[in-house]
Structure 1
């Protein structure tokens, strides 16, 4: 018998002893003495045998005989059911309590735990999120709730993303058209690269992701984190072959009331048209520090080594990335963030060296436990180190991207969360005839947690 069950049993027996010690009239005590003894004995034997059905029955009899708080008795019954691995029974009892006391925190917390034990991940996640918004970071339950949210959102998940939109692109190395402008001539006088007027066309894509994230407790606040992902992408409009990406990260995870830190080696493999296209390996670290109930400071740093097939050897190289972020929660349902990004790509081909500086900002608002909306803006400056002979000048791209997303978390609907996004991107390049473009996309994403 576990220590938790023993504590519950001791608590129930304490209630019995306390009730028997209350002053009552001698006449009533004499008439009910045998009944009280029978109830106490039957409850005691039921506890010893761990007979849940009998325990529930005699607890109800005890409540009727001694006019005890019925919600306290139901709470004890629900806790016993949960500890005896009957979360379905516990869920029904906790819901009964919350119908009478909707803001009973202990019952809400136990109900969320029971949802998780019953594999009702959607309901558990909704309730844990609601509790995290109401609790201050100084609450003794806050670390458990935030850690549980992390574990639930990082369990096995599947998402399907459908993307449709229109964008302008170029056909850089296509056969020159009669009126196309030649950018570079070969020694024999033929045109090597030509400019073809940009033509808007529809882009249809789909992407499917399987994500498995696990936190394995080591001791106290120390965990082993594991992340495995399989992504499949297909571009129907441009007839791009299926691209499959395998990602694996396993490392150290630390989390207490104010600090979350991860250090993970990573490995990626990319396959296209049935053969390995490229690979990447490196080291990544993430830190988040809760400064106050409303402010937190975090950041990510990564070092990656990219390796491509021999015919794309010029793309191989090293990537450095740093992304600090500050987050503000002015309201329990609102989150505002500001993130900076610096990325350096050093490749075998010096003409492909470039540096990126970006600023990300966004706001997320939870209108209802089932509905949230977010808006994001990204401003990016990308500069190449060397001037390519075909470009005739140093290339620099300025990109602006704006997006809004509406996400639904219905408790039913097979625990599938639909998310609708509208994304608009504008890229202005110093080589406009090749790299300037506009793009508008509508994305529909379905996500399910298992």
Structure 2
């Protein structure tokens, strides 16, 4: 058990802490930190036992879930040792890389200043080692300061040249590019990476490369409209599209397809930016995965469609025309879905419902869409993640009934579960849900 997170600054002298004044778990942790610092000091001088010391250090780090505070001089030791041993002992180099990565994982921000001071260009010299590339990407993802420093030192140019020179390094650098893409301020500099990434989308696909490329595309599309249009409008996008569609049975590319579905969902999320034909193409693309027999593809397609459809009535017509609601109902009739899986499908259905205009929803019910059954099932699967959707649905049902006097909506309102749910939500910890529930209670009483 680890005590609350302690920063490197708090622990400059942690080895002097009195064990007697600490709880047992903190005493154990303090003792391990002290042992870690002693081993680091030994690491610099004991040439013969470095590998064994590194294993001991890794054991301490692993046992404490990477929550060991590094001191600046220890980072200096690691980096110098890495450079010293680069040619001499690959085992030491590899173990040291893994150790550094473990230490900074999830705590990268704590060490930003130290590594910027050490010099990102120095870190760049450690490429193409995979672990050090991953190590740099962690910093780029965690800190605008590091990303800014990275760009200002022209590390981006070095990164670009390395990828262009040798595609085998591509997977090790994509995460770094994606890390910078998290900061919109650099989107114009990242434009040039899009055609470069497309260089590796050809008939000779390397699966590992494609997975990283699509992952980078997804992050770029999430954060930048400019990068989205550069990606989507490149003719090679169709080559990627065809490759994905023709490879559904290939178990080696399941991760690629997963990233691709999420990428399409990111594009749909660009509300108000895309023209209608592009939107139809993207929805059609997700419907393609919704129609497969693969659960992971189906659920990810549902999540991406939900992301696109929320509160946009223009999207609802596309869903109607593509028979997405009918496909969801079909899927819900399959017995072997877990409750969590069903909730994902129901959430898509109700996002479509909430995005519908009152006229669209009324027409849907008149076309024999069983809203009563659908609502009851949502309530049964309700959890903290879809409470808000459920409460908004209640509000919508009351609103449509008041406008249309359609008795099918009154049938829903008359259900005991309807009133029980409203009453339950009047005591919700979420003030917005509580407000909606209190208003719904008043509205139902006025109907009766």
More relative contact order in 1 or in 2 (CA 8 Å, sep 6+)? 1
TM-score under structure 2 normalisation?
0.27
TM-score under structure 1 normalisation?
0.27
Q: Report which of the two structures shows the higher radius of gyration computed on alpha carbons.
A: 1
Larger strand fraction of residues: 1
